[in-house]
Structure 1
Amino acid sequence: MRRIAMTGAAGRVGTLVRPFLRQHVEHLRLIDVHEPADLAENESFVGADLSKLDEATAALAGIEGVVHLAGLAGGVDMNAILQANVLGTYNVYEAARINEVERVVYASSNHATGFYPRGQIISPLDPMRPDSPYGLSKCWGELVAGLYYDTSGIRTLSIRIGNAGTYPNSERSIAIWISARDLAQLVRIGFSHPSIAATVVYGVSDTDEKWWDNGLAARLGYQPQDRPRDHAHIEDGAEGAVARAFQGGGFCEFNHDGTIRMRDGEGLAKNPETVS
């Protein structure tokens, strides 16, 4: 694809990924409420509030594909999440339909499945288990992607991003970190692979700590180039018992009553363990 848009382009992930993506496209349109710094020759900026359908529609005019990164990254304010992550994502897809955009790469999150225990390897075929209001909004986005493929033929690669920080800063992030260039590789696959429909993969670099079966990403051609432990700078302290138990880490602690519950077949505990 030649003309690509990136929503949330001024954010942390957009800023990291842009240099690796713009060299592969003719033009990269940056969409945000704030103008990103240091625009390249083949980049342009469009200011838009994606919670407003008319602004989203105008921003995607003449575009072939969208990297949808915009939204609140975390947080527990459900009203804000509804505006930014839920309504904003719906409007991006509706604007894509109106503009006949062919493909979307959706920045989903590992927090869509954050309540799986760390001892269990899961795949995108396992049921969603969101760990927070933020994770719940990412489940919504994946379902919106499926709806718009079934009704309009818009193809989406939903990437359940692990940790897309500059470097892994904890043992948990070492297990789930993805470098900017590996994430950009997945984005390019989302725009080019003929088998993409409403497809979900995990966004993780070449880690030894296998929490996710990412075989589908490999079959699509994903070959991560970076190893998280090679880039690690451990900064944070010890996790609480609830955070340690689940893949979502600290996100799982929101409104949690302290009782660690395992679902049928997970085998970590027959009876709930009360955390003091």
Structure 2
Amino acid sequence: MRRLLITGAGGGLGRAMRNRLASMAETLRLSDIVDLGEAGPNEEIVTCDLGDAEAVHRLVEGCDAILHLGGISVEDKFSKILNANLLGLYNLYEAARAHGKPRILFASSNHTVGFYRQDEHLDVTDPMKPDGLYGVSKCFGEALARMYFEKFGQETAIVRIGSCMEKPTNYRMLSTWMSYDDFTDLIGCVFRAPMLCCPVIWGVSDNNSRWWDNSAASFLGWRPKDNAERFRAELEATVPRPDPDAPIAKYQGGQFTQDPIFSEN
């Protein structure tokens, strides 16, 4: 493709994808509200608050595809979540509609289903059970993406990311972990697919103890190769097992099910 936009390029996942996706497009347009450093040989850097509709329209113009990682990624004050995850996402979809409807990969979250127990196995038809305001914002995002597809034909891959990082750091992540390499492969499958529509995809590697059934997205040809099981021995040697009744051991959303709602005061 000619130009791939990555929002949230200054976050942990955005930084990890920056180099991995360099060959996927002639130009990477990187955006965030934080300092992204110097632009690389095939990079454009654009500072943009997703809550600013005019700025988002300028950001999306000329892009062939969008990897949307931007927004608040933890539980926070509703005003912050409102601006970045609700208003910001609406601005992004309106900008996409105005500029040729480039295909979008929307980084949703496992926190849309965080109140399911860890002994439950889910597919994409199971009802949402968000575990906080952050999870609710991702439920909104999934509904918005679906509406823009049904009403305007805007294609989106809704990826419910588990725990995408270098390696699992707790026992819950033995089920939720997605490797950077597997996510990179998924991004490629999403943007190469002849037809996408608006699928929900569990963003998880081929872990032995995963809770989520991805068979509905098999048409993409994505076959994750990594498995968190190879980190089990390291975790068992270095990380104490949590109490069985602790949120991190009981619920799929882990600690998010217990995190407080932040006061606006």
How does the TM-score come out when normalised to structure 2?
0.91
**For residue 254 of structure 1, what is the amino acid of its counterpart?**
D
Contact 2:75–2:256 (CA under 8 A) maintained in structure 1: no
Q: CA deviation at 1:111?
A: 0.5
Q: CA deviation at 1:115?
A: 1.0
**For residue 242 of structure 1, what is the amino acid of its counterpart?**
P
| Structure 2 SS opposite 1:136 | helix
The 5 A counterparts of 1:102-121 are: 102-121=102-121
Contact 1:63–1:101 (CA under 8 A) maintained in structure 2: no
1:34–1:242 Cα change, 3 Å? closer
| Structure 2 SS opposite 1:183 | helix
Query: In the alignment, which residue of structure 2 is the partner of 1:185?
Result: 185
The 5 A counterparts of 1:1-276 are: 1-37=1-37, 39-231=39-231, 234=235, 237=240, 238=242, 240-255=245-260
1:38–1:203 Cα change, 3 Å? farther
**For residue 256 of structure 2, what is the amino acid of its counterpart?**
F
Contact 1:243–1:253 (CA under 8 A) maintained in structure 2: no
Contact 1:9–1:69 (CA under 8 A) maintained in structure 2: yes
Unpaired segments of 5 or more residues in structure 1? 257-276
RMSD across aligned C-alpha pairs, in angstroms?
Answer: 1.8
Between the aligned partners of 1:194 and 1:115, the Cα distance in structure 2 is: 35
Greater shift in the superposed pair: 187-196 or 174-183? 187-196
Runs of 4+ in structure 1 deviating by more than 3 angstroms, as ranges, are 231-237
**For residue 258 of structure 2, what is the amino acid of its counterpart?**
E
Amino-acid identity (%): 36
Unpaired segments of 5 or more residues in structure 2? none
Total equivalences in the alignment: 256
Contact 1:17–1:181 (CA under 8 A) maintained in structure 2: no
**For residue 255 of structure 2, what is the amino acid of its counterpart?**
G
How does the TM-score come out when normalised to structure 1?
0.87
**For residue 157 of structure 1, what is the amino acid of its counterpart?**
A
